[in-house]
Each structure stands twice: as structure tokens, then as C-alpha cells.
Structure 1
């Protein structure tokens, strides 16, 4: 893999922390923490430093290896077992992420278009991208990042005049358990996926700096806090809970220079791009994991990944056929799987690698 620069790497971090927010996390927060959703996000940004620091530690301690190589070389057969769990868990996460983007497009843009057509249109660029060298995708991510920043500036300038601070009251009118559960969900859906970046060894990142990554982590988290603040302060809690994708519907109030209205379809591309990055990072993680675990050659691996992408498309058309079941699945099953795969396993790697290295120091 050709090297990428630190800015390209950090734009991937930016997108991974934002990917599922308006489609999944915001709805869960509003229906559990309610008016105190913004408090859940603040707590999540603070507590989320624990897994974020864990990921950074592993990357810094083993700069020449990705997480799959670390598990394999330091933990032996047990490491291979952990790698298989990582592959399976990431595949499930990729399928769910692809379903989210398909469902979002189907419900908000192309509700008269058969879902199978949306799936085909989306899966083709996914297949094309995954068989290319990763540095190509990272450069595209950098371009998408600056595009997203432009959209965010337009959104803020168009909404700031609609803020009503009375809609934020009363504060701390919810049970601590609900606030903490919102924090738990935010960390699971918007911070733990950053682990996918540990498939990129530090040596492959020119100018890598943990401080720069931390700044991107912090800014991304605060930007999501801002999204929740705008949603509640403009819509109010009751209207926010009523909408599906309330942060998307908020964009309908944005106008450009009070002349151009109904720009929400263009502005929401920022969230679409974030989901696309998350899907591609999950698939790239699987691709590299298969290559390292089973010593698969590049050409064979590309064929396998094409099959994986086709499997992704097929399964997306058959999961969550009953409306409303997806949120229950995300809250009760997927969230715990993410903690096991993207926090518990790295934690095991951390402690096992420490124990493994002790005899070498004697």
C-alpha cells in the first residue's frame, strides 16, 4: 500500500465519527435522553477518549503493523481467533451500514424507485473502489472532507437565526440512566468505528501525529454536539422526536441568501459521504484482514472482495423487511457487538501484548 498523509488519515477519522449520526444515533438519543441528549454527547466525547487512546496506543506501540498483524504475531493462534471475530463483526457492521445508506436514500430521495435499483447503483462504485489501491480512496476522502466543510458552513449560516434557547429547557429533567444510555450509544456508533483505522500501520501515514488525530476527534465530536443543539433548539423536543431523521428535516429550513430554498438534498450529501467512507473502511479492513490471516494474493483477494460486496448487496435487500425493527436491532444487538469487536478485542490485544512482552525484558 502506498503511503497516505496525516490529513487524509484524519479526514477518514472525521467521517467515521459522523457516519451514522443522523440516521441512527440522533433518533436513539432523542428518544432516550430527550432534552438532555446534548449532555449525553458531551459525556461521550469525554469517556470516548478511553477507546480512542487505546487505538492510538496500539498504533504507536506497533508502528510497523496493523491490528491484524499485531494479533497474529503477538498472540499466535489466539490472535488468529480474534482476527476471525474482527472479520465477522466488521462484515456485519458493513452490511448494516450499507442498509442504512440504502434505506436513507430510499425513504428521503427515491421513494418511488425499487430498492434493488438503489442497491445496484451504490454497490458498483463500492466494488470499483475496493479493488483499487487505498491511497486513491484516501485522496477522494480528502476532497469529500473539504466539500463537507463547505456544506457545514452553509448549514450554520442558514440556521443560526432560527435558534430558540427556550426549546432547550428544562435541563437535567431526565433520569441519569437515560442520559448514560445515550452516552453508551453515541460511543458505540460514533467513536468505536474509529478502530477501523488501526488496519493502517503508522508507518504508512506520512507525518502521523496523535495530537492531530485528537484535534480531529474533538472537532468532529463538537460538530455532532452542534447538530443536536440545532435540532432541539429549532424544532423543540416534541417535533424532533416525531420526525424520522430530524437533523435531515432541519436542513429544509436552510436557504441560500434568502433566495434559493429546498437545498436539503444537496446539503445532506455530507452525511451520505460519511456513510460511504464508513462502508469503504469496513470493507478495506476485511480485505487487509483476509490477506494477512490467510495469506491471500492480491488478485485472489480482489475476487473475494467482489464476492463480499455482492453478498453485501444481496443481504441488504432481505434484512429489516419489517418497518421499525432496525432500531430495536441496533439498540439491543448491534451496539453490544460493536463494543465486543471494537473495544473488548483491542483491550484484550493490549493486555495480552503486555504480558507477552514481559519475559523478553528479563
Structure 2
């Protein structure tokens, strides 16, 4: 097996802290902390650095690594299915989207870990390029008054939001191989700064009242981008960075599981999801 290079490993460390914020994660932090999101995130980064020290030890325990891998697999499949259905394929049945994602997971499991890390390295470059473009085009649209909304300072909510940020940004690291030896806290900090800048764009452009309404506020701000007032609707391309990052977690998490166990879990997810959809449709109709 080929060796995973330092750059490839650091690329994954950079990508993993953000996928769990897709949808519910961003919404919850904005809802809890409002215009004090920056304080919650800074505290969350500090808590996250502490959690990573703990996770470096937990990552060596196979049962914990496999359990977290299963949890993240289920969660990311749910969020990805919802996001793709809502933003890209709203006419396509969700079950079809889920089946497609399951097949992609099975395919990635057939590949070695080194292949997943090499692909992640490419996705890292694409993600950085898309974000720099986003930052340059959206920064002029920020309204400073959106950071001074009159929401009350509630310490409890800010602390809850910071803990929420800390867990969402660090939990995926448990799934990494050799995390204890190869963890780089500087890369984690850079990734969190990336996330902080994204929150700044969301609040600065939409404001807390509007941002707290949407499930995907990051997608809404992408819709405001136009290139020379000619090329518009680029939000679907920019939002792909979130999907790339989610696939990175799915690839690494699935690689931690035995192929037979993984197949059993995926079939169980498909059956349960199908039953839930049938039950919901029966209630509605």
C-alpha cells in the first residue's frame, strides 16, 4: 500500500471540520448566538483544540472509531440526501438520491485509504479555489449594520453554540487513521478560520433575522454572486464544496468498517428510509 503523504493528510484535516455544519449546524449556531456568532466560534475553536487532545486517545480505540464512523455515515447520508434533494434535484424522489449515494459509498469502500486521501487532496484544492472566489465576490456585499443587531447577549446560548461548534468541527477526526501521530492543530485552526469567514459572510450579507430563517443560508448568499453581471446562477457550483467535504467523511468512515458490516448498515439505512417515506406519505395522503 502506498504511503499517505503529509500534504494529503493535512488536506483531509482541513476538510473534515465543516461537513457537519451543512444545514442544521449553521442554523443552530446562528439561532443560538445571533450576532455574537463570532464569540461562539472563537470559544468553540478553543474547546475544539481541547477536544482534539481527548480524541487523539479515543481514535486508537477501535470500538469508538467504528461507532463514530457509523454515526457519521448515517448523519452525512441524511444531510446530503436532504441537501441534494432540496437544492439540486427537488423533483427526483429522495430514495433515488439515497440509492445513488449508497452506491458511491460502496464504490469508495472498494478503494484503498490512500486513494481516498489522494482524491481529498484534489478536493481540497478545488474547495480553496471556490472559497477564495466566494470571498472576493461577496465581501463587498457585507453590511456592517448586520453585525450590530439588537439581539440580547445570553451567555448560556453562546456557550451552547460554542460547544456545538467544537463537537461538530472535531468529531470527524476520530475516524482518521493515525490521528494521534499526524494531527496538526495549525491546520485545524485554519479550517476553523475558513468557517468563521463563512459565518461572517452569511451574517454580514443576510443579517441574523433572515439567516436564521433558511436551512441553507450559505446557499442563499451564493445566489447573490454574478460574474461581470453576465454569468449568474453560479451557486450550484460553489455549493459543491460542501458536497465534496461530505463525501470525504463518507469515504473515510466507510473505510473503517468491514465490507460485510458496511453493506448490512447501508441496506438497513435504505430499508428504514423507505419505510419512513411510506409512512409519511400515508399520513399526508
Matches within 5 A, 1:60-79: 67-68=60-61
Could you say what secondary structure the match of 1:218 adopts? Answer: helix
Q: 2:131 and 2:121 mapped to 1: Cα distance? A: 15
Task: Find 2:259's aligned residue among 302, 310, 319.
Answer: 302
Cα deviation, residue 228, structure 1: 0.8
| Count of aligned pairs between the two proteins | 280
Q: 1:179 and 1:112 mapped to 2: Cα distance? A: 38
Query: What do the CA deviations read for 1:198-255 (whole angstroms, capped 9, x no partner)?
Result: x33678xxxx4x5xx2221011101111111111111111111111211111100112
Q: 1:219 and 1:232 mapped to 2: Cα distance? A: 20
1:241 maps to 212
Do the aligned partners of residues 307 and 54 (structure 1) sit closer, same or farther apart at CA in structure 2, a change above 3 Å counting? same
Query: What do the CA deviations read for 1:11-56 (whole angstroms, capped 9, x no partner)?
Result: 2122210112231211001111111122111110112111123344
Task: Find 2:128's aligned residue among 141, 149, 156.
Answer: 149
Are the aligned partners of 2:223 and 2:235 in contact in 1 as well (CA < 8 Å)?
yes
1:313 maps to 270
| Runs of 5+ consecutive residues of structure 2 not aligned to the other structure | 281-285
1:200 maps to 178
Cα deviation, residue 172, structure 1: 7.9
Matches within 5 A, 1:322-341: none
| Runs of 5+ consecutive residues of structure 1 not aligned to the other structure | 60-65, 70-82, 288-300, 323-362
TM normalised by structure 1 equals 0.71
1:23 maps to 23
Are the aligned partners of 1:158 and 1:253 in contact in 2 as well (CA < 8 Å)?
no
Stretch of structure 1 that moved more, 186-195 or 143-152: 186-195
Query: What do the CA deviations read for 1:49-77 (whole angstroms, capped 9, x no partner)?
Result: 11123344x49xxxxxx7136xxxxxxxx
Whichever of the two has the greater Rg, that structure is: 1
Could you say what secondary structure the match of 2:245 adopts? Answer: helix
The alignment's C-alpha RMSD in Å is: 2.4
TM normalised by structure 2 equals 0.90
Do the aligned partners of residues 306 and 111 (structure 1) sit closer, same or farther apart at CA in structure 2, a change above 3 Å counting? same
Could you say what secondary structure the match of 1:17 adopts? Answer: coil
Task: Find 1:166's aligned residue among 118, 138, 145.
Answer: 145
Matches within 5 A, 1:126-137: 126-137=105-116
Q: 2:13 and 2:275 mapped to 1: Cα distance? A: 30
Q: Does 1:98 align with 2:77?
A: yes
